Structure 1
Amino acid sequence: MPAESKAKVIERNRAPRVQIAYDVETYGSPTTIELPFVMGVMADLAGASQTKEASKSVLDRSFVETDANRFPKFMEALGPRVKARVKNTLPQAEGQERDEELALDLTFSKMGDFAPDKIAEQVPQLAEILKMRRQLEELLGFMDGRVDAEKRI
């Protein structure tokens, strides 16, 4: 019979990081009641979002209850957005003028939208570079092990 893996033993025996419990006496017998961990965030996270909730003042907004299962819908409803101007450090082709600043208008509807490649796809100058990079990776994969293709290039 194989020994139980260490990961499973740790997972089974590890207590949650936040554990709030209190002892009560119910009908003469002591009972421990464990409270769930609840966290509230009070912040103006609307940013440049144009949702109905974002247009309200912070004092008039209400708490939104969410959990891991409902978080994607929460993100979509919140509609986080970033509008900013940043210094342009991208290389330019010869003969082209470099804009001093890039205007960004980033929108996020799910957690995956915060990934670097998803952000780059929302900035036209970066999207073009990312497209070229993907094409080069595809070409490299195509050429792998093909001597005749390597000779042609």
Structure 2
Amino acid sequence: MSNSLQKWVGRNRAPRVQITYDVENGGAIEKKELPMVVGVMADLSGHPKEPLPKLKDRRFVEIDRDNFDEILDRIRPRLDLSVPDTAKGEGNLRIELEFSKFSDFHPESLVQQVPRLQRLLQARHQLRDLLAKLDGNDELDSILDRVIRSTEELRALHDEAGQAADDQAAEEKPADPPAAEPS
């Protein structure tokens, strides 16, 4: 039995395209099947940090649903873009996106790669949590209502939240390695 790729595909997955032709062999007509091979030449790397090899030095890569993430990790598509900053309403926002697996194309993964969007999503989650805590908590509801109506208390709350964010950012910053002592 032949070990051709076409026979392997036939045993493992039914091909979607089958091309056959009739051949006369000693008076009998046989159906011969042509293999369906598709080659795609494309620059799928986006904006690579390092230049790609010359086209003549590149080789075809077989991609299927089983090795897609592995190939994507090897190619590592990257986008370096400047997009309008709709959050501030003015100027542009420079973003750099890298993809190493198919799930990196999901909106949540994209947000994790853009620090400003990550902070906005975090604020949204905090507001959702606050809304959940407000449900049925009349005391907290009245406190927040009073704070919103009072400009001074609102400023104090804003300053406190800003200080808490600064403290959190300082905690997340990696510590500098200790200086080496002279020998």
- TM-score with structure 1 setting the length: 0.66
Provide the residue aligned with 1:86 in structure 2.
83
Is 1:152 equivalent to 2:150 in the alignment?
A: no
Q: Counterparts of 1:89-128 in structure 2 under 5 Å?
A: 89-91=86-88, 100-128=91-119
Tell me the alpha carbon deviations over residues 45-85 of structure 1, each in whole angstroms, 9 at most, x when there is no partner. Answer: 2232246xx53122321111121111110111111100111
Larger Rg: 2
Q: In the aligned structure 2, how far is the partner of 1:21 from the partner of 1:135?
A: 61
User: Which of 89, 104, 121 does residue 130 from structure 1 map onto?
Assistant: 121
Q: How many residues align?
A: 128
Structure 1 residue ranges (4+ consecutive) displaced by more than 6 angstroms after TM superposition: none
Q: In the aligned structure 1, how far is the partner of 2:124 from the partner of 2:77?
A: 28
Q: In the aligned structure 2, how far is the partner of 1:150 from the partner of 1:41?
A: 63
Percent identity over the alignment is 40
Q: Shift of the alpha carbon at 1:37?
A: 3.4
Provide the residue aligned with 1:8 in structure 2.
none
Q: Any unmatched runs of 5+ in structure 1?
A: 1-14, 93-97
Choose between structure 1 and 2: higher helix proportion: 2
Q: Relative to 1, partners in 2 of residues 1:23 and 1:128: Cα closer, same or farther, differing over 3 Å?
A: same
Q: Which residue identity lines up with residue 136 of structure 1 in the other structure?
A: L
SS in 2 for 1:21: strand
Provide the residue aligned with 2:22 in structure 1.
23
Q: Relative to 1, partners in 2 of residues 1:101 and 1:29: Cα closer, same or farther, differing over 3 Å?
A: same
Q: Which residue identity lines up with residue 121 of structure 1 in the other structure?
A: Q
Q: Shift of the alpha carbon at 1:116?
A: 1.6
Q: Shift of the alpha carbon at 1:121?
A: 1.3
Q: In the aligned structure 2, how far is the partner of 1:135 from the partner of 1:78?
A: 37
Q: Relative to 1, partners in 2 of residues 1:23 and 1:76: Cα closer, same or farther, differing over 3 Å?
A: same
Q: In the aligned structure 1, how far is the partner of 2:94 from the partner of 2:107?
A: 17
Provide the residue aligned with 1:40 in structure 2.
39
User: Contact between 1:23 and 1:31, CA under 8 Å: does it hold in 2?
Assistant: yes
Provide the residue aligned with 1:9 in structure 2.
none
User: Contact between 1:46 and 1:80, CA under 8 Å: does it hold in 2?
Assistant: yes
Q: In the aligned structure 2, how far is the partner of 1:26 from the partner of 1:68?
A: 38
- TM-score with structure 2 setting the length: 0.57
Q: Relative to 1, partners in 2 of residues 1:150 and 1:118: Cα closer, same or farther, differing over 3 Å?
A: farther
User: Contact between 1:72 and 1:110, CA under 8 Å: does it hold in 2?
Assistant: yes
